[in-house]
């Protein structure tokens, strides 16, 4: 069972490749770098780290043009990716070529206000293809 310990809680330590590699370890850092590099070069995303006082942690916002595509946070055992859809747009996720596990997680998620969260806990490279499928869908929404 993975531990639920969020990393990057110190407001004075801004995330950089050097300290992320130290914090994550080589395997998770390699996954993180592949995610960011692919996001920038193939998905035209930008990544913006910021410390949020409400959650007392650093979060990374992934943006396409002016649209927030997903939020990224770092945890001891995985990289958490959080998408937010409206009820209407969340229905389209079920039509995507993604793992049944992700669809099931969406079915079970509790709405956050008017938004439907879809959370991916990424700890393996093989999970990135589903991530990019969802990113392409999210980018296509108006």
Whether 36 maps to a domain, the answer reads yes
Whether 44 maps to a domain, the answer reads yes
Whether 8 maps to a domain, the answer reads no
DSSP class of residue 16?
-
Q: How many structural domains is the chain composed of?
A: 1
pLDDT in tens, the chain (142 residues): 556 899 999 999 999 999 999 999 999 999 999 999 999 999 999 999 999 999 999 999 999 999 999 999 999 999 999 999 999 999 999 999 999 999 999 999 999 999 999 999 999 999 999 999 999 999 999 8
CA 120 to CA 91: how far, in whole Å? Answer: 17
Which residue from 35, 75, 36 is spatially nearest to 55, judged by alpha carbons? 75
User: CB–CB of 60/7 below 8 Å?
Assistant: no
Whether 71 maps to a domain, the answer reads yes
> What CATH number should be reported for the domain holding residue 50?
3.90.1150
Whether 7 maps to a domain, the answer reads no
DSSP output for 5-44? -B----TTS---HHHHHHHH-HHHHHHHHHHHHHHHHHH-
Whether 11 maps to a domain, the answer reads no
- Residue 43 domain boundaries: 17-140
Whether 3 maps to a domain, the answer reads no
């Amino acid at each position: 069972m993975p531990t639920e310990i969020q990393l990057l809680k110190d407001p004075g330590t801004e995330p950089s490749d050097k300290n992320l590699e130290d914090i994550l370890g080589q395997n998770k850092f390699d996954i993180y770098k592949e995610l960011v590099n692919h996001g920038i070069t193939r998905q035209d995303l930008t990544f913006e780290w910021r410390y949020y006082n409400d959650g007392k942690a650093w979060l990374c916002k992934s943006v396409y043009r002016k649209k927030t595509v997903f939020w990224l946070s770092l945890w001891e055992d995985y990289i958490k990716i959080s998408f937010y859809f409206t009820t209407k747009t969340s229905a389209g996720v079920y039509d995507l070529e993604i793992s049944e596990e992700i669809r099931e997680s969406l079915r079970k998620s509790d709405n956050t206000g008017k938004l439907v969260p879809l959370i991916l806990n990424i700890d393996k490279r093989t999970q990135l293809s589903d991530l990019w499928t969802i990113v392409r869908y999210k980018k296509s929404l108006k």
